């Protein structure tokens, strides 16, 4: 078996043919030093398969890391065992922190110390938070934008000074805009071009103009980004969400997405992380079709996991059309290929951005239907119809049962679920925060609607009253997560679709039903996707069910053995 040094040298020579190995050899000596510092105590490298992930902005959730520490019991009681911290690194905050100014520093407002505190004191606050989270059985991963930096990063500030500046080649400069013309505009409606004029030249960017893309053709960029990851491994993080991973390598004459050398870069990162701390999660944010995303798993030598972006809009389509077909089709082998044993899909109903309807993985017909069905307010429109900026509660018309059904589907389908902060109690769009941010950044980015602060005092009173909307949503979700955490079937088991029929022997397309099996345990999940009562004839299928399901919900049987489901009702049943 090849030694890690040989593996890295192999990737290096493919990426940079003719380049000396001297810089890589120096880097490997650094790796050896870090390996001595970092100790991995985990006995389970694929822990992420059994995780329930909760994503949050530290400042919006509860002001600072001290505030987040105070809410660890809340998160633990919810059933969360992994936190995904949305951008926490130093940033001018023009794109919610995805515009990184310093990769080795956390934003000072999240630390909560006075302005004269040292970098060591600031890091200690973060490390203490990590230690307390681990005491609660909660792992922590965070976002790192590896495709681009802020235009205020010291590399870019140097890069723009002159053609012969040592940092010039850290970014992609050109005398005109005639390169990479096939690269699509990712922020359609907000950025007219992927090139931005600066002095006598232009620099390339896939996102906002204040987020210049890094140039991985320069091997120094690969090494520096690897050093950034190593720095945070030493602090004790459990993994990284690799933002915008498909765009790392650019080739003129291509769409600059999913290129072979991008995969070599990811393999390089993975080999470094595996050597230092084998249980470190590398999570791919690739807004692509599953057949492309699975390539980022490699042969279990790239990312451990990736988001299943197409599944998210199809869950909304299934509920909108009251039909199981969109979900079953999306998870079929025709759309979602098999993945390596060590890999995992991450699933979600909502994330920190819009309900994405990118035509990369959504057909024009589906985009149109979902947008027309769920974009109930013109303000929610994002990217000229390719997204909807709305919270889950707003998308589900603030109907607690409908929200509970959506969670039932997401939490029981294959993969690791991600819950976006506030959705667990039905947080709604935040108009005030949206308007505040427009004034700050100077752009009408409707994604700010789905962010905003939590008022914990107000929320506490609402959760204490079982009759409030917030409490009804929260109780359903905590109950579901509690049961999910007891069974490995959901994160690791197989899925088998079953067709249930009515009293007249007609197939009920509005019922999404499936078995989740793992080892000797077999669970039956029944979801009514419709807004009407449905009657299922179980006698003909010889399915025997208990009086209550795993969620302690009573089943409504009639005298002749049929099961009645109310609108948006769901059951989780142990049938072994």
Distance CA 348, CA 315 (A): 10
- For 139, the token pair is 């792992």
Which of 243, 353, 381, 423 is the catalytic position?
243
CA torsion through residues 330, 336, 339, 342, sign: negative
- Say if CB 564 and CB 558 are below 8 A apart: yes
Known catalytic membership, residue 285: yes
- Pairwise CA distance, residues 531 & 476, whole Å: 18
Q: For residues 135 and 116, give the distance between their C-alpha atoms in angstroms, rounded to a whole number.
A: 30
Q: Closest by alpha carbon to 246, among 341, 146, 346?
A: 146
CA–CA dist 159, 150 (Å, integer): 12
Q: Phi/psi of residue 275, each to 5°? A: -70, -35
293 Cβ contact list (under 8 Å, min separation 6): 284, 286, 306, 307, 308, 309
485-517 b/e (C-beta count within 10 Å ≥ 16 → b): bebebbbbbebeeeebbeeeeeebbbbbbbbbb
Q: Which residues pair with 213 in a beta bridge?
A: 148
Which of 203, 82, 223 is closest to 146 using CA atoms? Answer: 223
Q: Find the catalytic residue in 46, 274, 285, 386.
A: 285
**182 near 250, Cβ under 8 Å?**
no
End-to-end CA distance of the chain: 43
What gap in Å lies between CA 550 and CA 158, rounded to an integer?
Answer: 60
3-state helix, strand, coil in the chain (%, to 5): 40, 20, 45
Q: Does 243 participate in catalysis according to the annotation? A: yes
**Active centre residues (catalytic):** 243, 285
């Amino acid at each position: 078996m090849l030694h890690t040094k040989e593996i890295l040298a192999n990737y290096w020579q493919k990426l940079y043919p003719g380049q000396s190995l001297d810089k890589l050899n120096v880097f490997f000596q650094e790796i050896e030093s870090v390996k001595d510092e970092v100790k991995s105590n985990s006995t389970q490298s694929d822990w992420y398969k059994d995780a329930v992930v909760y994503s949050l902005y530290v400042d919006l959730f509860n002001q600072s890391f001290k505030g987040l520490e105070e809410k660890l019991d809340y998160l633990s009681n919810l059933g969360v065992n992994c936190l995904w911290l949305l951008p926490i690194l130093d940033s001018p905050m023009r794109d919610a922190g995805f515009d990184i100014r310093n990769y080795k520093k956390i934003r000072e407002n999240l630390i909560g110390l006075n302005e004269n505190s040292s970098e060591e004191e600031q890091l200690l606050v973060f490390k203490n938070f990590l230690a307390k989270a681990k005491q609660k059985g909660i792992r922590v991963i965070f976002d790192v934008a590896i495709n681009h930096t802020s235009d205020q990063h010291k590399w870019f500030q140097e890069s723009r000074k002159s053609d012969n500046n040592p940092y010039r080649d850290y970014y992609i400069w050109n005398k005109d805009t005639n390169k990479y013309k096939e690269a699509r505009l990712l922020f359609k409606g907000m950025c007219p071009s992927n090139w931005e004029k600066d002095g006598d030249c232009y620099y390339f960017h896939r996102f906002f103009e204040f987020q210049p893309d890094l140039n991985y053709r320069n091997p120094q960029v690969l090494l520096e980004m690897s050093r950034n990851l190593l720095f945070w491994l030493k602090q004790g993080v459990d993994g990284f969400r690799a933002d915008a991973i498909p765009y790392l390598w650019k080739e003129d004459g291509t769409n600059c997405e999913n290129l072979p050398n991008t995969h070599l870069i990811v393999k390089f990162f993975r080999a470094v992380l595996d050597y230092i701390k084998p249980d470190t999660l590398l999570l791919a944010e690739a807004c692509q079709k599953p057949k492309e995303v699975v390539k980022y798993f490699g042969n279990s030598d790239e990312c451990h996991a990736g988001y299943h972006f197409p599944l998210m809009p199809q869950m909304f389509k299934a509920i909108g059309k009251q039909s199981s077909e969109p979900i079953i089709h999306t998870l079929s082998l025709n759309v979602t290929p098999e993945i390596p044993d060590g890999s995992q899909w991450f699933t979600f109903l909502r994330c920190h951005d819009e309900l994405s309807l990118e035509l990369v993985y959504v057909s024009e017909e589906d985009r149109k239907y979902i947008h027309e069905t769920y974009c109930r307010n013109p303000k929610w429109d994002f990217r000229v119809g390719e997204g909807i900026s709305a919270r889950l509660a707003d998308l589900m018309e603030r109907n607690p049962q409908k929200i509970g059904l959506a969670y039932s589907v997401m939490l029981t389908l294959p993969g690791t679920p991600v819950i976006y902060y506030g959705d667990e109690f039905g947080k709604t769009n935040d108009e005030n925060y949206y308007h505040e941010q427009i004034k700050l950044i100077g752009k009408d980015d409707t994604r700010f609607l789905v962010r905003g602060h939590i008022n914990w005092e107000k929320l506490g009173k609402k959760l204490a009253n079982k009759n409030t909307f917030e409490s009804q949503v929260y109780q359903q979700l905590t109950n579901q997560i509690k049961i999910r955490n007891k069974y490995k079937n959901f994160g690791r088991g197989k899925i088998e679709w079953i067709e249930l029929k009515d009293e007249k022997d007609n197939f009920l397309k509005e019922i999404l039903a499936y078995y989740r099996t793992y080892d000797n345990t077999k669970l039956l999940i029944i979801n009514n996707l419709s807004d009407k009562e449905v009657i299922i004839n179980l006698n003909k299928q010889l399915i025997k069910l208990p009086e209550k399901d795993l969620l302690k919900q009573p089943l409504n049987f009639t005298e002749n053995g049929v099961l009645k489901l109310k609108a948006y009702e769901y059951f989780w049943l142990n049938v072994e």
